[in-house]
């Protein structure tokens, strides 16, 4: 009896050390930074704060490395089982030793076997240089974490919540996730620290400028969702996960439908003048269940909107041009943004809705040098190879390769719907008349005659691309009144639910990146 | 307050403010024309216009300062 008590005391003592994390001064530091202790993060994340844990005693013999700086856990989020790795930055700044890495690899393996989402709660200074031979180059070293992430990509959802640094090699954990939430002011990603940059390349820069959350969510595009607190990161990650099935073999869950947000109608929102700006977010609100929009990469390449939403309770991925920003023209970054989003939705059976109002891809030396052709090709390839239901709506105009990028008729959308005001053409009337008749226009000396000629040609061109002519030729499948668009989309999403496409066998396409 | 810079290459279509004018956040200060589209350029925060650096019809490059604030 007494002996048993002795065993228990020893266990209790060890567990108390493990659960308390690192030294009190590091807990204090976290509080000052508005950061939560790793176990408080997990309590917030999991339903009822309940989870099971593996490898609690990792490196227990070291004495000062509780759980070896990472908690690996399995529990429920929104009623769905998920696996989690969460760095403890009170333990050697959340750095990775050999057992840290082994724990992360094992929880990935558990997620794979159980076919459930894998969450990475990252707050880590990177590798422990002193332990490098045990954790860096070997078969089950840090590289295996990334290898597993790549293997699991598209098999199960992988989500990163970045609460602190993700340094050097560690920065690849977020990079290989489907989505990255970053807490402004605390989260950062960089391959080399500002100190290293100053020493090696002579650059003087702050951490925020080089790898801060805002920079990554607005400029580099490595971050997807910028949040102001850890609590917000966790609640938004839960909302994000609610759109996804547990793995690629399942379908997204349906929820109770909601009405649209009260506001202006599509007729009121969309201006008659093809060149005038309007706010596409307002148009989206007029189509989706109120309050369901989840913006992905909101601050990055805002000329294109990508987000998850629900129509009549069904999950849908929306790709919409934003005419209010840069005219809705497609750029290198917007192409990248759409490519990743399409690939994400397609992997997890979320139907795609394209809302096109696009003058085309940007032209000029700057974008050509940046490789807009290959970036555009990448977007078109992703859209073209997606096998989920694809609905293409020409809201106002789709010119040039913009039509192709937004799932135009040639790319086998399940339907291409036009609103009655839509225009589809190689280019707009002004540009087209200029391109075809510029010599003739210049040769007309009388300004009145010249104007008359141009106006006649504009009218002819508009007739040529009249939307009823395109419907008559069966180029587009349907013309729908703006007031009917939501119910049309809801019906089609319902009917396309069991769509299946079987592609001819091959290993994989050659990516045009 | 941050200067307002052009976010793409284009031509100044309209200038909607005057020097000395107080503008609110999100107010359209200038409209550019690019790729045949009207591109509204909005003030990021409220402020008073100090200088207007481009006139109607001027060509501007991405990153050019359109308006400075006091």
Query: Among A379, A387, A371, which residue's Cα sits nearest to residue A496?
Result: A387
Minimum-distance CB partner of B9 among A275, A360, A364: A364
pLDDT single digits (tens) A104-121: 999 999 999 999 999 999
Minimum-distance CB partner of B37 among A327, A363, A364: A327
What is the value of pTM for the model shown? 0.95
Domain ranges of chain A: 2-241, 266-422+476-495, 428-466
Q: Do A359 and B35 touch (CB under 8 A)?
A: yes
Distance from C-alpha of A183 to C-alpha of A190, rounded to nearest angstrom: 15
**Contact with chain B for residue A379, Cβ under 8 A:** no
Minimum-distance CB partner of B35 among A276, A362, A366: A362
Q: Residue A125: is its pLDDT beyond 70?
A: yes
At residue A479's C-alpha, the angle toward residues B33 and A389, to 5°, is 90
Residues of chain A in contact with residue B34, where contact means CB-CB under 8 angstroms, are: 326-327, 329
Q: What is the pLDDT of residue A408?
A: 97
Contact A109, A148 (CB under 8 A): yes
Q: How would DSSP label each residue in A226-278?
A: EESSHHHHHHHHHHHHTTS-SSTTSPPPP----PPPSS--HHHHS-SSTTS--
- Signed CA dihedral, A381, A382, A385, A389: sign only: negative
Minimum-distance CB partner of A359 among B9, B36, B62: B36
State which residue of chain B sits closest to A432, comparing Cα positions.
B36
**Contact with chain B for residue A327, Cβ under 8 A:** yes
Contact A193, A207 (CB under 8 A): yes
Q: What would the mean pLDDT of A195-204 be, rounded to a whole number?
A: 94
Q: What would the mean pLDDT of A340-344 be, rounded to a whole number?
A: 98
Q: Do A362 and B62 touch (CB under 8 A)?
A: no
Please report how many Cα atoms fall inside a 13 Å half-sphere around the Cα of residue A58, on the Cβ side: 22
DSSP B59: E
**Contact with chain B for residue A363, Cβ under 8 A:** yes
Q: What is the pLDDT of residue A6?
A: 81
Tokens 């990554």, located at residue? A216
Q: Do B38 and A326 touch (CB under 8 A)?
A: no
Q: How confident is the model at residue A169 (pLDDT cuts 50, 70, 90)?
A: confident
Domains of chain B: 4-69 (2.40.50.100)
Q: What would the mean pLDDT of A249-258 be, rounded to a whole number?
A: 97
Q: Do A327 and B62 touch (CB under 8 A)?
A: no
pLDDT single digits (tens) A431-456: 889 889 999 999 999 999 999 999 99
Q: How many CB pairs under 8 A join A and B?
A: 41
What ranges make up the beta strands (E) of A125-211? Answer: 158-167, 179-183, 188-190
Q: Do A363 and B35 touch (CB under 8 A)?
A: yes
How are beta strands A158-167 and A188-190 bridged, if at all? Answer: parallel
Residues of chain A with pLDDT > 90, as a percent, come to 91
pLDDT single digits (tens) A49-60: 999 999 999 999
Q: What is the pLDDT of residue A427?
A: 86
State which residue of chain B sits closest to A429, comparing Cα positions.
B36
Contact B64, B41 (CB under 8 A): no
Cα A66 to Cα A44, A91, A94, A318: the distances in Å are: 21, 7, 11, 44
Task: Give how far A329 is from chain B: nearest CA, Å.
Answer: 8
**Contact with chain B for residue A475, Cβ under 8 A:** no
Q: Residue A130: is its pLDDT beyond 80?
A: yes
- Beta-carbon contacts of residue B33 (< 8 Å; ≥ 6 apart): A275, B10, B11, B12, B13, B39
Contact A376, A399 (CB under 8 A): no
Task: Give how far A326 is from chain B: nearest CA, Å.
Answer: 6
Which ranges of chain B have pLDDT less than 50?
none
**Contact with chain B for residue A328, Cβ under 8 A:** yes
Task: Output the six-digit token pair for A73.
Answer: 């856990």
Residues of chain A in contact with residue B13, where contact means CB-CB under 8 angstroms, are: none
Task: Output the six-digit token pair for A70.
Answer: 């990472």
Q: Residue A4: is its pLDDT beyond 70?
A: no
Q: How confident is the model at residue A429 (pLDDT cuts 50, 70, 90)?
A: confident
Helix (H, G, I), strand (E, B) or coil at A169: helix
Q: How confident is the model at residue A7 (pLDDT cuts 50, 70, 90)?
A: confident
Q: Do B37 and A325 touch (CB under 8 A)?
A: no
Q: What would the mean pLDDT of A29-43 be, rounded to a whole number?
A: 97
Q: Do A329 and B9 touch (CB under 8 A)?
A: no
Q: Residue A66: is its pLDDT beyond 60?
A: yes
Q: What would the mean pLDDT of A283-304 be, rounded to a whole number?
A: 98
Q: How many residues does chain A have?
A: 513
Tokens 């509204």, located at residue? B40
Structure ipTM: 0.90
Fold of A266-422+476-495: 2-enoyl-CoA Hydratase; Chain A, domain 1 (3.90.226)
- With b for 16 or more beta-carbon neighbours within 10 A and e for fewer, the A428-462 pattern comes to bbebbbeeeeeeeeeeeeeeeeeeebbeebeeebe
Distance from C-alpha of A127 to C-alpha of A167, rounded to nearest angstrom: 9
Residues 421-440 of A with CB under 8 A from B: 428, 430-431
Q: Do A326 and B34 touch (CB under 8 A)?
A: yes
Contact A56, A107 (CB under 8 A): no
State which residue of chain B sits closest to A329, comparing Cα positions.
B35
DSSP A217: I
Distance from C-alpha of B42 to C-alpha of B22, rounded to nearest angstrom: 13
Q: How confident is the model at residue A1 (pLDDT cuts 50, 70, 90)?
A: very low
Phi, psi of A152 (to 5 degrees): -85, -10
**Contact with chain B for residue A311, Cβ under 8 A:** no
Q: Residue A184: is its pLDDT beyond 70?
A: yes
Q: What is the pLDDT of residue B1?
A: 67
Task: Give how far A188 is from chain B: nearest CA, Å.
Answer: 24
For residue A388, the tally of other CB atoms under 10 A from its CB is: 19
Task: Give how far A171 is from chain B: nearest CA, Å.
Answer: 29
Class of domain A2-241: alpha beta
State which residue of chain A sits closest to B6, comparing Cα positions.
A326
Residues of chain A in contact with residue B44, where contact means CB-CB under 8 angstroms, are: none
State which residue of chain A sits closest to B34, comparing Cα positions.
A327
Residues of chain B in contact with residue A275, where contact means CB-CB under 8 angstroms, are: 33, 36-38
């Amino acid at each position: 009896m007494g002996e048993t008590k002795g065993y228990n005391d020893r266990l209790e003592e060890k567990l108390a050390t493990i659960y308390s994390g690192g030294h009190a001064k590091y807990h204090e530091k976290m509080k000052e930074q508005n950061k939560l202790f790793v176990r408080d993060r997990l309590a917030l994340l999991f339903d009822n704060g309940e989870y099971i844990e593996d490898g609690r005693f990792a490196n227990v013999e070291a004495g000062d490395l509780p759980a070896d700086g990472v908690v690996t856990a399995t529990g429920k989020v929104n009623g769905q089982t998920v696996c989690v790795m969460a760095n403890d930055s009170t333990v050697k700044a959340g750095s990775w030793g050999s057992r840290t890495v082994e724990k992360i690899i094992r929880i990935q393996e558990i997620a794979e076997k159980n076919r459930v989402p894998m969450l990475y709660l990252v707050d880590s200074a990177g590798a422990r240089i002193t332990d490098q031979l045990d954790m860096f180059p070997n078969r089950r070293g840090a590289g295996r974490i990334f290898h597993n992430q790549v293997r699991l990509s598209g098999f199960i959802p992988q989500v990163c919540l970045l609460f602190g640094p993700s340094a050097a090699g560690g920065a690849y954990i977020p990079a290989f996730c489907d989505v990255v939430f970053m807490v402004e002011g605390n989260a950062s990603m960089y391959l080399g620290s500002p100190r290293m940059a100053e020493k090696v390349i002579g650059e003087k820069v702050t951490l925020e400028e080089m790898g801060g959350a805002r920079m990554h969510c607005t400029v580099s595009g490595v971050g997807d969702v910028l949040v102001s607190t850890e609590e917000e990161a966790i609640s938004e990650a839960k909302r994000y996960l609610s759109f996804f099935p547990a793995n690629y073999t399942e379908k997204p869950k349906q929820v109770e439908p909601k009405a649209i947000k009260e506001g202006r109608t599509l007729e009121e929102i969309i201006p008659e003048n093809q060149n005038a700006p309007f706010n596409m977010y307002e148009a989206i609100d007029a189509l989706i269940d109120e309050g369901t929009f989840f913006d992905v990469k909101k601050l990055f390449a805002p000329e294109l909107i990508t987000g998850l939403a629900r129509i009549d309770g069904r999950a849908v991925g929306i790709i919409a041009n934003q005419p209010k920003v840069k005219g809705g023209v497609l750029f290198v970054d917007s192409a990248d943004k759409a490519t990743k989003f399409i690939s994400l939705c397609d992997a997890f059976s979320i139907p795609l809705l394209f809302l096109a109002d696009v003058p085309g891809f940007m032209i000029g030396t700057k974008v050509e040098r940046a490789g807009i052709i290959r970036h555009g090709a990448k977007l078109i390839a992703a859209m073209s190879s997606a096998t989920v239901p694809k609905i293409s709506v020409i809201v106002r105009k789709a010119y040039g390769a913009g039509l192709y990028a937004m799932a135009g008729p040639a790319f086998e959308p399940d339907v291409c719907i036009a609103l009655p005001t839509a225009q589809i053409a190689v280019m707009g009337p002004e540009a087209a008349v200029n391109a075809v008749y510029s010599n003739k226009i210049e040769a007309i000396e009388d300004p009145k005659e010249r104007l008359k000629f141009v106006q006649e040609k504009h009218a002819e061109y508009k007739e040529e691309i009249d939307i009823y002519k395109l419907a008559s030729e069966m180029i587009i499948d349907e013309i729908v009144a703006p007031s009917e668009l939501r119910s049309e989309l809801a019906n089609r999403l319902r009917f396309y639910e069991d769509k299946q496409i079987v592609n001819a066998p091959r290993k994989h396409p050659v990516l045009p990146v | 307050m941050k200067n307002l810079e052009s976010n793409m290459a284009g031509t100044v279509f309209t200038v909607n403010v005057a020097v000395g004018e107080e503008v609110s956040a999100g107010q359209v200060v200038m409209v550019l024309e690019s790729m045949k589209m009207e591109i509204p350029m909005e003030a990021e925060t409220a402020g008073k216009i100090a200088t207007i650096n481009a006139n109607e019809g001027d060509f501007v490059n991405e990153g050019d300062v359109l308006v400075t604030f006091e």
